[in-house]
Chain A
């Protein structure tokens, strides 16, 4: 079974530029998450989708971050304009249930962003 796919793996941009990350979840997984992990910290949820609907985006900085999951499969996370503090790993994850209770979340390898 293929895992969660993410691209690009690495990206370096200048501040105020824009960047987009793509994620393809495990086939059949209805729930998709985007997490931000700053170096030395644990992952922090940015947004959670159930199919193509948003379940939770309370931690998403909506003035610069946007995400969509058209057709309920692939997802794109965009940052525009980027700030230095956005340097982090952006982890996509998926699961086959809405609530994580008693359920495993499967993570991709992450997209590493450096803003200079």
Chain B
């Protein structure tokens, strides 16, 4: 299966702290994306990192990719209560027509 796995499954932090969540996958990829899902809502695209990139930033988000270890991490700095959501990584394997989503990390930021 190409499906990724996020770690940890759940994370609870205080507002202002940094949150790090990890994603591991099994097959070669072209790109890896991170999505956020607020409770009861659809998924929202956060950031995409290509297989030839090692690190990417977008606002308070920092994504790293290690293709040798088949893993990625998402760092949210200076977390806010509004960051409370589930975060999913999604990969598009070479030759694949769709995205394969991981199981998600449920982040709770306590005000």
Which one of A41, A42, A109 lies within 8 Å of B42 (CB-CB)?
A109
Whether B102 contacts A42 by the Cβ 8 Å rule is yes
Majority SS at the chain B contact face: strand
Query: Which of A66-74, A77-85, A93-101 interfaces with chain B?
Result: A93-101
Q: How large is the interface on B (under 10, 10 to 19, 20 to 34, 35 or more residues)?
A: 20 to 34
CA distance A71 to B40 in the complex (A): 30
The reply on B56 being an interface residue by CB < 8 A is: no
Q: Does A44 contact B (CB under 8 A)?
A: yes
Residues of the A chain whose Cβ atoms lie less than 8 Å from the Cβ of B88: 42-43
Question: What count of chain A residues pass the 8 Å CB interface test?
Answer: 27
Q: Which residues of A contact B99 (CB under 8 A)?
A: 45, 100, 105
Q: CA A37 – CA B35 in complex, angstroms?
A: 14
Q: Collect the chain A residues with CB atoms within 8 Å of residue B103's CB.
A: 40-42
User: Within the complex, what minimum Cβ distance (angstroms) separates B60 from chain A?
Assistant: 19
List 14 A–B pairs whose Cβ atoms lie within 8 Å, in order of A's numbering: A4-B42, A35-B101, A41-B104, A42-B3, A56-B98, A91-B43, A93-B42, A98-B97, A100-B97, A101-B30, A102-B50, A105-B45, A106-B45, A110-B41
- A sample of 13 more A-B contacts (CB under 8 A), given A43-B88, A109-B42, is A33-B98, A40-B104, A42-B104, A43-B43, A91-B42, A100-B92, A100-B97, A100-B99, A101-B30, A102-B50, A104-B45, A107-B35, A108-B42
